[in-house]
Structure 1
Amino acid sequence: MTGRPLTTRELNRALLARQLLAERSPWDAARAVTHLVGLQTQVPGNHYTALFSRLAGFDPRDFSRRLAEREFVRLSMQRSTIHTVTAADCLALRPVLQAAGESSFRSNWARRLPGVDLAELAARAAGLAAEQPRTLTEFGALLRERWPESEARALGAAVRHALPMVQVPPRGLWQRGGAPRHTTAQSWLGAALGTETAPDALMLRYLGAFGPASVKDAQMWSGLSRLREVFERLRPRLAVFRDEQGTELFDLPEAPRPGAQAPAPARFLPEFDNVFIGHADRTRVISDEAKSRSWSGGSRPLPVFLADGFVRGSWRIDADRGRTRATLLLTPFGPLAPAERSGLEKEGARLLGFHAPDAAHEIRFA
């Protein structure tokens, strides 16, 4: 079926609804992470702020326990970047996304490893991982015994592209840290990977969490190529729209698409949040000007806040050594309406209570 053109604000409200940011969901964390097809967590603890902003009554300690008990795992998934996913999705979806990892390896590391057979490297690395979790630096040093002419850093990076390498706790646990030590998903979860590699089902799930979206959007999100033929197979099952530039957008027919005037509460998001990495055209949530201001020194993204559904500034929490005082500093990228400031102050108080529950709190606008 073909629908009418969708405005940027309508696409914004659809994205907020799909990403559980229009209102907090009562869902359990596993259901939410499954619906979202994982959470991008290049920064290990980012899943806590991401889920705090999406779920009612989210308990970070319970999530941390479940991560330690292997209900959730962190590994390279979409675009070969680290995501927090359920154990079930790790096993089922990593084979679908393996092609993206191999493509990333060829683009970034293969030229540094002439003569290295990736299949042999994967087999040797799997044996090393079965002995104990290791850092990629340790993998590289050990693999260099087999390929002494190769760069150890490149060998270690190749391991993450060749195998589904889980980053094991304590990395990613609540208010804890640790070196990024890896083992294979099969070893960590005691189960085999799935055998399905066709991306059709994954694309339907992508639309459920990020749609309406173009083929280019889906390719950007997943890291997979040649998805046009996949969407053509799926077309009879999908609704088809266009954005204000005329780009064809696909969606699930029954998925929520609120109107442009649907309310959009203040929300605080971590670096690399899902809403930024789901589309090639990100103007449905962040303007080009805001995008240019949301990077620290041009090299690292900042945590940002949403007002009226769009990125309107950055934030950080400063706490003293004993965490007796905590200040939420908000840096708007432009003027905020009084109602927007009020909403940010109320939501900011909740954020401080989440991250520093025992401290005295202060909220300041830079």
Structure 2
Amino acid sequence: MTVLDTRTLNRATLARQLLLDRADMPVLDAVAHLCGLQAQEPQEPFVGLWSRLRAFDPAVLSALLTGRSVVRTHLMRRTVHLLAADDVLAWRARHDIDPPAPEGSDPVGEALVRRYLAAFGPAATADLRAWCGLAGLPAAVAAIREELVTFRDERGRELLDLPDAPRPDPDTPAPVRFLPAFDNAILGYHDRSRIIDDAHRGLSVAGARVVLVDGRVAATWNVKAGAVTVTPLRRFSRADRTTVAEQGRALAAFLSDSDGHRVEIAALPS
């Protein structure tokens, strides 16, 4: 069985999560493709979509919300998500009633597995459980297993995937991306080592906003006194500082209607 190393899994995740290249995709289609976005804080999905879509217009998402095409509600892991209304209708009953071993066919569960893999694969069943919070999906996985391809990660876990889903070359360049709090690109896995070092795993559940450099969590960011402040978790090269500052200025412009957009990169503690 083919072994996928951490960098290969990282690039696959970035591609599925629309973080390798910003997508030319309607906002509603992006929300559906991503299987929703974490939305404990109502404004965070706007940053998540800005980082993923070309020419993202926040007014479009606002209109989808007021028009009820997109809904902010509790669902996966009993946490607040922003989801396409059609997905809420299809998935809510499956999340409200989660028998450990459903009797008979489970078409909703099978659809959830396919949709998860399209947005997060290749992934282990433990990753699937961590994303959806459901205990009863092994039967759904078993029912569609013949449709899937399998790999192993460097820890020996079996990984499942859709056969035609993108798995880019691990040497594919990854641009700097600013992620909002609780982004599912990190929280959508039990084993998050493909995108964040184990030493920093706690940031993903503490609500830290993070910066991806070369596809991995390399800094946190916040907005203070009208400036986007970036705090590195490791030393940045000169090129890293330049690209982080450029993307930070673009984010500051997105977040602010004023003219002077500042980016401050804190010194790494000694």
The verdict on a shared fold, with TM-score over 0.5 as the criterion, is yes
SS of residue in 1 equivalent to 2:151: strand
Mapped to 1, the partners of 2:139 and 2:67 lie a distance apart of: 39
Answer yes or no: is 1:334 the counterpart of 2:234. Answer: yes
2:80 corresponding residue in structure 1? 82
Written as runs of structure 1 = structure 2, the 5 A alignment for 1:1-366 is 3-99=1-97, 198-292=108-202, 294=203, 300-319=206-225, 326-366=226-266
- Quick check: 1:96–1:197 contact (8 Å CA) kept in 2? no
Mapped to 1, the partners of 2:135 and 2:56 lie a distance apart of: 36
Which one has a bigger Cα radius of gyration?
A: 1
1:186 corresponding residue in structure 2? none
Mapped to 1, the partners of 2:118 and 2:180 lie a distance apart of: 22
Mapped to 2, the partners of 1:262 and 1:94 lie a distance apart of: 37
After TM superposition, the runs of 4+ consecutive aligned structure 1 residues lying more than 6 A away are none
Shift of 1:270: 0.7
**Partner AA of 2:244 in structure 1:** L
Mapped to 2, the partners of 1:337 and 1:253 lie a distance apart of: 37
- Quick check: 2:176–2:215 contact (8 Å CA) kept in 1? yes
SS of residue in 2 equivalent to 1:203: helix
- Quick check: 1:35–1:209 contact (8 Å CA) kept in 2? yes
Mapped to 2, the partners of 1:300 and 1:342 lie a distance apart of: 27
SS of residue in 2 equivalent to 1:246: coil
Q: What's the Cα RMSD here?
A: 1.7
Mapped to 1, the partners of 2:183 and 2:6 lie a distance apart of: 19
**TM value normalised by structure 1:** 0.69
2:103 corresponding residue in structure 1? none
Mapped to 2, the partners of 1:44 and 1:7 lie a distance apart of: 35
- Quick check: 1:73–1:86 contact (8 Å CA) kept in 2? yes
Note the alpha carbon deviations across 1:285-327, whole angstroms, 9 max, x for none.
Answer: 10012224x37xxx832111000000011001123xxxxxx21
Mapped to 2, the partners of 1:242 and 1:11 lie a distance apart of: 11
Note the alpha carbon deviations across 1:142-162, whole angstroms, 9 max, x for none.
Answer: xxxxxxxxxxxxxxxxxxxxx
- Quick check: 1:238–1:253 contact (8 Å CA) kept in 2? yes
- Quick check: 1:16–1:309 contact (8 Å CA) kept in 2? yes
Identity %: 41
Mapped to 1, the partners of 2:10 and 2:121 lie a distance apart of: 10
Shift of 1:221: 0.6
**Partner AA of 1:217 in structure 2:** D
**TM value normalised by structure 2:** 0.92
Contiguous gaps of at least 5 residues in structure 1: 104-195, 320-325
SS of residue in 2 equivalent to 1:301: coil
